[in-house]
Amino acid sequence: MEHDTLVILGAGYTARVVFPLASRRYVQVFATSREPAKNLPTVAPDQRLQFDLAQPDTWRNIPERADLLWCFPATPPEAVQQFAAAANPSSRRIGVLGSTSAYDVGRSTDYPPPWIDETAPVDLTKPRVRGEEFLRLHCGAIILRVAGIYGPGRNPVTWLKTGRVRPSRKYVNLIHVEDLAAICLATLERGIPGETYNVSDGSPRTWNEIFDWSRAHCELSLIAAPDVRETGKRISISKLTEQLGYTIQHPDLFKELLGL
Ligand SMILES: NC(=O)c1ccc[n+]([C@@H]2O[C@H](COP(=O)([O-])OP(=O)(O)OC[C@H]3O[C@@H](n4cnc5c(N)ncnc54)[C@H](OP(=O)(O)O)[C@@H]3O)[C@@H](O)[C@H]2O)c1
């Protein structure tokens, strides 16, 4: 690593997995929260920082020249720009976790849906996407367009059981949180500033497939499938695997679900 300090901005679900990994690669790792004492009980007090994008007086808590891993939605864009101006971005490497929801698939009804790579247009009507694009174009941030995150405590079978999602022909792209954490560090280490990388396990599945597997393995009762015409997306990760050289460690969703 060029820099020896990393600050994880917004230490929630993903950051908790990034933190121990990062501690092996950086000399110092800090995690931020808007309420550090309450929300970061497992982080040593001297590694906790208070940071709130909406509270400029907390911005000075971020050490100069430290790399930044931005783990919450980069919005509102005005605050993102003001924070970036205060943070001297040219002296750091910055990784930003975005979402595959940024891709604007328009009204395409092709099925199965076409593969989407990083050249696909993004939806700039979304404030978060504008925040990310500002950071990418003006601060050299590396944007990760992240698929649905699963892992311990975030189980797609539970999402079906509780009705958060329903079986349908719609495609979903998922990434195990341990892969996401490793990819965050890989991009900070060797990603190209100003580039975007899609992050998924490379195997889009339909909710029907996940539902059928869940019925067979997890005692899921029959759920009425609404007549969904949405196609979903199929996210390509060729850039991640070929240019960044990352090998997905958890490619088999169903094998992982057995262990959650
Ligand atoms: N969940 C998914 O399936 C999914 C899919 C694609 C992309 N993503 C994106 O990936 C990123 C990481 O996801 P995650 O689920 O690990 O996030 P998470 O658990 O929600 O953690 C993010 C943390 O950031 C802090 N935060 C929120 N707003 C903030 C603000 N305005 N200023 C400073 N800190 C703020 C919050 O902690 P405090 O309350 O302690 O401050 C929050 O717990 C997020 O940007 C998310 O939108 C998630």
d(CA 68, CA 62): 9
The answer on pLDDT for 85 being more than 80 is yes
d(CA 174, CA 251): 10
Q: Which two tokens stand for residue 250?
A: 């958890």
Q: Which two tokens stand for residue 8?
A: 């994880």
Nearest to 179 by CA among 237, 240, 241, 250: 250
d(CA 27, CA 47): 12
Nearest CA to ligand 1 atom 45: 72
Nearest CA to ligand 1 atom 43: 12
The answer on pLDDT for 1 being more than 60 is no
What separation in Å is there between the alpha carbon of 11 and the centre of ligand 1? 7
Are 132 and 186 a contacting pair, CB within 8 Å?
no
pLDDT of residue 129: 98
User: Mean pLDDT across the chain, nearest whole number?
Assistant: 96
Q: Which two tokens stand for residue 92?
A: 């750091």
The answer on pLDDT for 202 being more than 80 is yes
Are 257 and 156 a contacting pair, CB within 8 Å?
yes
Instruction: Tell me the per-residue pLDDT of 2-59, one tens digit each, with 9 for 90 and over.
Output: 689 999 999 999 999 999 999 999 999 999 999 999 999 999 999 999 999 999 999 9
Which is the closest atom of ligand 1 to the Cα of 15? 16
End-to-end, the C-alpha distance of the chain in Å comes to 33
Sign of CA dihedral 236, 242, 245, 250: positive
CA atoms within 13 A on the CB side of 26: 27
For 33-63, the DSSP string reads: ESSHHHH-TTS-GGGEEE--TT-GGGGGGSP
Instruction: Tell me the per-residue pLDDT of 129-141, one tens digit each, with 9 for 90 and over.
Output: 999 999 999 999 9
Are 181 and 21 a contacting pair, CB within 8 Å?
yes
d(CA 19, CA 8): 8
Strands (E), 47-189: 48-50, 67-70, 94-99, 115-116, 142-146, 148-150, 171-172, 174-176
Which is the closest atom of ligand 1 to the Cα of 10? 24
**Residue bearing tokens 């029907």:** 208
What separation in Å is there between the alpha carbon of 7 and the centre of ligand 1? 14
Which is the closest atom of ligand 1 to the Cα of 35? 40
Ligand 1: residues whose CB is within 6 Å?
A: 10, 12-14, 33-35, 39, 51-54, 71-73, 97, 99, 146, 148-149
- Tell me which of 30-34, 169-173, 223-227, 255-259 is least confident: 223-227
Q: Which domains does the chain have, with CATH numbers?
A: 5-259 (3.40.50.720)
Nearest CA to ligand 1 atom 28: 72
Which is the closest atom of ligand 1 to the Cα of 36? 40
Rounded to an integer, the average pLDDT of 182-192 is: 98
What DSSP designation does 163 have? T
d(CA 45, CA 41): 8
Rounded to an integer, the average pLDDT of 74-83 is: 98
The answer on pLDDT for 117 being more than 80 is yes
Percentage of the chain lying above the pLDDT 70 cut = 99
> Candidates 51, 58, 70, 71: which one to mutate for ligand 1, based on the most atoms within 8 Å of Cβ?
71
Instruction: Tell me the per-residue pLDDT of 59-73, one tens digit each, with 9 for 90 and over.
Output: 999 999 999 999 999
What separation in Å is there between the alpha carbon of 5 and the centre of ligand 1? 21
What separation in Å is there between the alpha carbon of 189 and the centre of ligand 1? 22
112 backbone φψ class: left, alpha, beta (φ>0; ψ -120 to 50) = beta
Nearest CA to ligand 1 atom 24: 10
d(CA 57, CA 59): 6
d(CA 211, CA 78): 41
